[in-house]
Chains A and B, each alone.
Chain A
Amino acid sequence: MKYDIVIGLEVHLQLNTKTKIFCGCSTTFGNSPNSQTCPVCLGFPGVLPVFNKGVLDLSLRSALALGCTVSKFIKFDRKNYFYPDLPKNFQISQYDLPLAKDGLLEIDVEDGSRKRIRIRRVHMEEDAGKLVHEKEASLVDFNRCGTPLLEIVSEPDINSPEEAYRYLTALKEILRYLEVSDCNMEEGSLRCDANISLKPKGSEELGTKAEVKNVNSFKAVRGALSYEVQRQEELLSNSERVVQETRLWDPDKEVTVSMRSKEEAHDYRYFPEPDLVPFVITDKTIQEVRSALPELPQAKRARFIKEIGLSEYDAGVITSEKEMADYFEGCIKLYDKPKVVANWLMGDFTAALKEKGLESISQCEMDPADFIGMLKMIDDGSISGKMAKSILAEAIQEGKAPKDLVSAKGLTQISDKPQLEDLVGKAMEENGEVVEEYRRGKKGAIAYLVGQVMQKTKGKANPKLVNEILRKKLEG
């Protein structure tokens, strides 16, 4: 391609405080419209906003985890525009003194190297309500209105749709580690607008950008941007102009379409919100928040590789969700075979969670002690690895402890030597010709005899031991 791709992302994150940013309404939305509203979030005349301390706490955690410089003095501003989902017809946001600036997010790029994407600014604002469009009218529900939002704006350092996808993935990973937001794009707790332009390879001058909206998954972001690259490249190659405009992603047709509105020039008339006083953030506060930050995914990954000895791949998978990483660490405290734990977690455990429809390991009732108990039963031969797989699946599905399942089903392996010797003897007696075959040199015949013992015990005999005893008797 003759062009460089330049992408900047604006991410809006719903913070998971208990209450809205400027009033005490709950943020857990009921289904019934306008049931989680009050005069403040409805913007009724005469009422006043009061800032939720929880919003600042979560925002500071996020800004610091993203390596931003937090401002010592911040304020809120009014952004004025008329829209029916915005009850005051202005949004309380931050304009020239945002919470934080100049952060960094590292991503893995396609060639395997790491790349730093600069973060321009992070600021707090209130969410708007929701519109439902009918044939002749539109309906307004303000339940979402006033939910705290954190806006994270990247510099245009992203150079491919895939990088945009990885940026979002890495951002989500960190924010979920911080437990500041669900980051669920399908449910709208994370939203993303993308600015994209092309410029001739190596050129300094930026091209005209289009803003892409209405994308509701990370894959859709990648898809929409890929479409845009193609569309803009075609225009430029034909010496046509890219129009500066907002384009909406149509997920069914997999194209972006122009909003084609007679959009007036944005004139938001920002000015300092007189109903809220400014906020001073001291070094002490910053220090406190910083020291209380959890270990972030990258650091954890490095530690798992270096100190625990996981492979890069395993460490990556295990640390992609904080809950998984925490579970893993809980396990290896009780059990000194990290690789074994990792394999189980990444394989059968994850599959079982998916089967049950659980999104996270933290929703699963089995605690690390139960799980490790099961692994130890394999080690001491009480159950076979194959048994363990089905026990695990059932334990997760039914919400039962593996050891209870094992004893309830009488699944414990028979490893009692005299008992097995007895059984082996019987099997040899009943199958004299097979014993003969073996002794004539057809060593493979032993498998049949093992099978016979297994059949007699309904599969509970310890196959290793049976093998051992058989061989001894056959050759002895």
Chain B
Amino acid sequence: MKDPKKPYTLTAHQISNLIREKKISISALLDSLLKRIDDVDKRVKGFVSVDKKSLKERAKDLESEPKSVGKLYGIPVTIKDNICVEGEPTTCGSKILAGFRPPYNATVVERLRGEGALLLGKANMDEFAFGSSCETSCYGPTHNPWDLDRIPGGSSGGSAATVAADETICALGSDTGGSIRQPAALCGVVGFKPTYGRVSRYGLIAFASSLDQIGPLTKDVRDSALLLNVIAGFDPKDSTSAEIDVPDYTTFLSKDLKGLRIGIPKEYFVKGVDKEVNEAVWKSIKKMKNLGATYEEISLPHTKYAVATYYIVAPAEASSNLERFDGVQYGYRSPEKDKTDSTPPLLRMYNSTRRDGFGAEAKRRIILGTYSLSSGYYDAYYLKAQKVRTRIKEDFDRVFKDYDCIVTPTSPTPAFKLGERLDDPLNMYLSDIFTISANLAGIPAISIPCGFTSKGLPIGLQIIGKPFEEATLLRAAYAYEQSTEWHLMKPEIKRG
């Protein structure tokens, strides 16, 4: 595993040790990753931008100041393209942000840099994180490293695929309805969505402000704990960031699960869940029992309304958040000068900029969201959905009185074929059926590898926890992971 000839295959904690022991230099590590990216990214297409020259300079700079060794000293991290990095292209996979270079950093970027991380590049994503397949990006789709004909999941598909394909050591993604966990599951990596408010959203280009949360995608659970240690915590620039102490998450990683009470929601093991997924998840639950946990069936009766609720709340917020993309201050402006159009010139600029700048799914969601907020529909749609959201949250509050965590499949199916659901939005939306509830309730959830289908596609196990108890999830995930070898499997990066 610790093949020094292939440092790109290593985890962050392994690399930290090697750097500390001076067995590898940051430049050598970077070179191995850049070579790996050259070798495989033309097939995976996980990156949208990698600035090799400035990376090499940054690596040299880091090496020349070993005094400022931080918690992530020399660790390469891929950043999802909706997280602002000062002076670097940040486009959300959308033509409407073509050429945009923010004059500021996201708080998570400041924190990663402050701890010595090397920001490797920007990862592909569904346009504005609208999607579950990473196919709606203006740069074209990312491919699943386990089967290049399949989707990597989304919207953080580029982050998940680059981690799975060993093109990076770890990555940041964002999760509004499953956008970290579902691609993590489909690519066979660890993906962690923290509690809403745990990680600052400042500099994350908003999709749905009340649901979005930044989190890590990593090769193992320990790396997720390491990254969370750095990115979590109060930020005065984000009014919704919680002033709650951040523990050292690595101290919770132990190999047994004595006393852990697991709830198994019957609503997540129903018709429509792939047979192999169902089996793998049950095997995992039994393994957790062997490690000392207890489990019981529970009910989250409002789960079945989660997708419907989400597809009111999220597009409504998105429709408002995306109003700022209008061709005035930054990004794309339509050059159209159709003199036959009698529309006033400014309105014409707005209409054509947004027509040409947004892709089909973005338009669909903007229109859906605008509709549910528009005069006469607000109460029936938006307000109703916010109330059902309360019900969904109450389900979890009730269950968490008696249980420490909830275990479910992350996705009802393994990775599907590229193009399969693109013209069937509703079916696409249903791929997030098991991940959406955690966003609506604002609670943390992690996806970890728990097996493979007969076709060799990864399967993910989701563990959902109480607000701000990320440590419990990491403990459960780590103990399970360490008793299996799923996380050590590597894809061949070929067609299935």
Contacts and interface: CB of A to CB of B under 8 A. Distances in A.
Contact of A276 (B204, B237, B239, B350): B239
Interface string B322-334: 0111101110000
Interface stretch (B7-15, B100-108, B155-163, B426-434): B100-108
Nearest to A51: B239
A90 B239 contact: no
B373 interface: yes
A140 B329 CA distance: 10
A49 B329 CA distance: 18
Contacts of A78: 320
B287 to A, nearest CB: 39
Contacts of A51: 239
B30 interface: no
Interface string A243-272: 000000000000000000000010101110
Interface in A25-83: 39, 42-51, 78, 80, 82
A50 B236 contact: yes
B201 interface: yes
Contacts of A49: 239
B97 to A, nearest CB: 7
A48 to B, nearest CB: 5
Interface string B311-322: 000001101100
Contacts of A265: 375
B373 A80 contact: yes
Interface in B193-228: 201-206, 208-210
B374 A274 contact: no
Contacts of B206: 45-46, 275
Nearest to B376: A267
A277 interface: yes
A235 to B, nearest CB: 29
Nearest to A262: B344
Interface string B83-94: 110000010100
A89 B100 CA distance: 19
A87 interface: yes
A45 B202 contact: no
Given A269-B373, A275-B239, A45 B346 contact: no
Contacts of B97: 45
The B contact surface, by secondary structure, is: loop
A200 interface: no
A140 B326 CA distance: 14
A269 B237 CA distance: 26
A265 B376 CA distance: 13
Nearest to B204: A46
A463 interface: no
Given A45-B324, A80-B323, A271 B236 contact: no
A182 to B, nearest CB: 29
A463 B212 CA distance: 87
A48 B329 contact: no
B328 A39 contact: no
B102 A46 contact: yes
Contacts of B328: 84, 87, 140
A452 B228 CA distance: 99
A88 interface: yes
B355 to A, nearest CB: 14
A49 B90 CA distance: 20
A47 B203 contact: yes
A142 to B, nearest CB: 9
A47 B202 contact: yes
B282 interface: no
B370 interface: yes
B455 to A, nearest CB: 39
A21 to B, nearest CB: 13
A90 B209 CA distance: 14
Contacts of A89: 323-324, 326
Interface in A139-160: 140
Interface string B350-387: 10000000000000000000100111001000100000
A138 interface: yes
Contact of B320 (A48, A90, A277): A90
Interface of A: 39, 42-51, 78, 80, 82, 84, 87-90, 138, 140, 265, 267, 269-271, 274-277
28 contacts: A39-B102, A39-B104, A43-B329, A44-B104, A44-B330, A45-B84, A45-B92, A45-B97, A45-B330, A46-B90, A46-B102, A46-B204, A46-B205, A48-B202, A50-B236, A78-B320, A84-B346, A88-B324, A89-B324, A90-B323, A138-B346, A270-B373, A270-B378, A271-B316, A271-B373, A275-B239, A276-B240, A277-B240
4 closest A-B pairs by CB: A89-B323, A274-B209, A269-B373, A274-B210
